[in-house]
């Protein structure tokens, strides 16, 4: 039996002291740095790079292969009880993260990245990204796809909040086979906007790495950071056995 990762995040900020950020136009997130662009020390050498990218998963598309970790913004219901949480999550998603297309392959490779997907239908990803309108994202969000994932996990015994981030080392596409012990769940169902934003910011800011760590052999640095983050915030309201299921 292993403890699952139903997470209640606390603030963690891992910025590099004494560093300035390189910020080419068009590639920058709200925290001042740029995804895939290094924070530069005073001597101009790279210090930190972000290891978490954002992407929209349009219509029936499958997740792109090759990432180290796959996370999904999940809205299981579309009702008034979750309206506040869904809107703040949508706003934070658009405001805090840079699209994966802005990642410089020369600085960080896909195998070292985690991807945070938002499933959508009938909308152009570029328009959602440039418009930064949370209502547009909520209207385009693919609730049916989210319900399929949540339903499969709940039938297997997992407690999944109606508003959450669900992650796994492998894609969570419909029809995929996954081991339940590999699934992590971040609760975003609270009604306090600031707490939601703080939790998402912690998720983002904790997933940074030094260039030397990226070049080291062994498992991807992103997985090491995720494991440390899970240990820091504590486990586990559930105990989960290894159980392979199909998402359907």
Q: Report residue 95 as tokens.
A: 């405001």
Residue 76 domain flag: yes
Residue 209 domain flag: yes
**What pLDDT score was predicted for residue 3?**
41
Residue 248 domain flag: no
What is the mean pLDDT of each successive set of 10 residues along the chain, which is 248 residues long? 39 30 32 41 52 90 93 96 96 90 76 92 93 96 97 94 93 95 88 88 75 68 73 52 89
Distances (CA, A) of 127 to 73, 104, 155: 18, 22, 36
**What pLDDT score was predicted for residue 223?**
81
Residue 162 domain flag: yes
**What pLDDT score was predicted for residue 238?**
57
**What pLDDT score was predicted for residue 56?**
96
**What pLDDT score was predicted for residue 231?**
56
**What pLDDT score was predicted for residue 112?**
85
Residue 247 domain flag: no
Residue carrying structure tokens 């547009």: 136
**What pLDDT score was predicted for residue 211?**
60
How far is 18 from 39, CA to CA, in rounded Å?
A: 10
Question: Among 69, 71, 170, 53, which residue's Cα sits nearest to residue 108?
Answer: 53
Residue 246 domain flag: no
**What pLDDT score was predicted for residue 64?**
94
Query: pTM for the full model?
Result: 0.77
Residue 245 domain flag: no
Residue 121 domain flag: yes
- Total number of domains constituting the chain: 1
Domain that holds residue 219: 2-240
The helix or strand, by DSSP H or E, that contains position 57, with its residue range, turns out to be: strand 52-58
Helix (H, G, I), strand (E, B), or coil: what is residue 71? strand
**What pLDDT score was predicted for residue 37?**
43
Distances (CA, A) of 182 to 84, 136, 159, 232: 29, 32, 14, 18
């Amino acid at each position: 039996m292993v403890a699952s990762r139903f997470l209640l995040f606390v603030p963690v900020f891992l910025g590099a002291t004494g560093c300035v950020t390189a910020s080419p136009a068009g590639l920058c997130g709200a925290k001042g740095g740029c995804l895939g662009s290094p924070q530069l020390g005073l001597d101009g050498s790279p210090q930190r790079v972000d290891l978490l990218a954002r992407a929209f998963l349009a219509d029936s598309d499958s997740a792109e292969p090759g990432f180290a970790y796959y996370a999904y913004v999940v809205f299981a219901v579309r009702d008034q009880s979750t309206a506040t949480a869904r809107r703040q999550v949508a706003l934070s998603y658009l405001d805090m993260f840079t699209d994966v297309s802005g990642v410089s392959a020369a600085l960080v490779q896909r195998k070292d990245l985690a991807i945070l997907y938002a499933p959508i239908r009938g909308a152009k990803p570029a328009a959602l990204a440039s418009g930064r309108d949370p209502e547009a994202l909520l209207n385009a969000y693919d609730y049916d796809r989210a319900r399929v994932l949540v339903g499969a996990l709940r039938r297997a015994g997992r407690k999944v909040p109606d508003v959450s981030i669900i992650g796994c080392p492998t894609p969570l596409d419909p029809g995929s086979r996954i081991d339940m012990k590999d699934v992590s769940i971040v609760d975003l169902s609270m009604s306090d906007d600031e707490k939601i934003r703080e939790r998402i910011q912690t998720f983002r800011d904790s997933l940074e790495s030094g260039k030397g760590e990226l070049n080291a052999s062994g498992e991807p640095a992103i997985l090491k950071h995720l494991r440390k983050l899970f240990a820091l915030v504590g486990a586990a309201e559930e105990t989960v056995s290894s159980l392979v299921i199909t998402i359907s």
